[in-house]
Structure 1
Amino acid sequence: AAAGVAAAGSGIPVLSFSNNTAIAGGNVWVLGNTFENTARRLLQYAAGQGRNRVLVTHATDQAGQVAREAIQAAARGTGAQITGAVPYELSQAGIASAVPTIAEQARSSGSNAVFLTGNTAGDLPVISQLLSETGIGGEDFRYLGLTRWDIPADALQLPGLQGGYFALPDQGAIQQFRTRYSARYGGAPHPIANLAYDGMAAIGAIAARGQTVGRNTLTSRAGFAGTGGVFRLRGDGTIDRALAVAQVVNRSAQVVSPAPNSFGGAGF
Structure 2
Amino acid sequence: MLYGCTPKEASSAAKAPLPSVAGRSIAVVGAQPFTPPINNVKLTGLPQTPMLPPKVKGAPVVIKTVRVGLLIPLTGRNAVLGRAMQDAATIALYDKYSNLPMDNDTRVELLPKDTGDAPEQAAQAMNAAIADGAQFIIGPVFADATEVAAPIARANNLSLLSFSNNLASPGQGIYAFGFSPQEQTQRIMDYAIRKGKTRIAALVPNSSLGTTVLATGKAVLAQHQQDFVATAMYAPQGLGIDAAVRQLVPENTMPNFDALLLPEGGAALNTILRTLAAHGVTTKNVQFLGTGIWDDAALVRRVPLDGAWLASSPPESTTMFETRFRKTFNYAPPRVASLAYDAVSLAVTLATTGRGFDGATLIQHSGFTGPANGMFRLHGDGKTERGLAVLQIDGTVFNVIAPPPTAFSAE
**1:244 corresponds to which of 389, 397, 402:** 389
Distance 2:271 2:156 in 1: 47
Partner of 2:187: 41
Among 290, 300, 311, the residue aligned to 1:167: 311
User: RMSD value over aligned CA atoms?
Assistant: 3.5
Partner of 1:60: 206
Unaligned runs of 5+ in 1: none
Stretches of 4+ aligned residues off by more than 6 angstroms: 107-110
The CA distance in 1 between the partners of 2:155 and 2:200, in whole Å, is: 40
Q: List runs of 5+ in structure 2 lacking aligned partners.
A: 1-121, 127-148
- Alpha-carbon distance in 1 for matches of 2:243, 2:160: 44
- Give the C-alpha shift of residue 36 in structure 1: 1.2
Q: 1:214 to 1:54 in 2, by over 3 A?
A: farther
Secondary structure at the aligned position of 1:22 is classed as coil
- Give the equivalent residue in structure 2 for 1:123: 268
Output the TM-score relative to the length of structure 1.
0.78
Greater C-alpha radius of gyration:
2
Preserved CA contact (<8 Å) 1:43 1:78: no
Cα deviation for residue 29 of structure 1 reads 0.5
Write the deviation string for residues 9-53 of structure 1: whole angstroms up to 9, x where unpaired: 444221112122434233210111111121122112212211244
1:144 positional shift? 0.5
| Range with greater deviation from structure 2 (238-247 or 131-140) | 131-140
Q: 1-side partners of 2:374 and 2:349: how far apart?
A: 15
1:29 matches 2:202: no
Question: CA 1:47–1:136 in 2, change beyond 3 Å: closer, same or farther?
Answer: same
Match of 2:94 in 1: none
TM-score, normalising length: structure 2 = 0.54
Encode CA deviations 1:89-108: one digit per residue, 9 max, x unaligned. Answer: 3455610111111125xx99
> Partner of 1:151 in structure 2?
296
Give the 3 Å change call, closer, same or farther, for CA 118–178 of structure 1 in structure 2. Answer: closer
- The structure where helix makes up a greater share of residues is 1
The correspondence for 1:95, drawn from 231, 235, 241, is 241
CA distance in 2, matches of 1:236, 1:39: 20
Distance 1:228 1:77 in 2: 30
**Distance in 2 between residues matched to 1:164 and 1:68, nearest whole Å:** 18
Overall identity of the aligned pairs, in %: 28
CA distance change for structure 1 residues 198 and 152 in 2, over 3 Å: closer, same or farther? Answer: closer
> Structure 1 residues 101, 182: closer, same or farther in 2, change over 3 A?
closer
Partner SS for 2:360: helix
**CA gap 1:82/1:177 in 2 versus in 1, 3 angstroms:** same
2:365 aligns with 221
Partner of 2:27: none
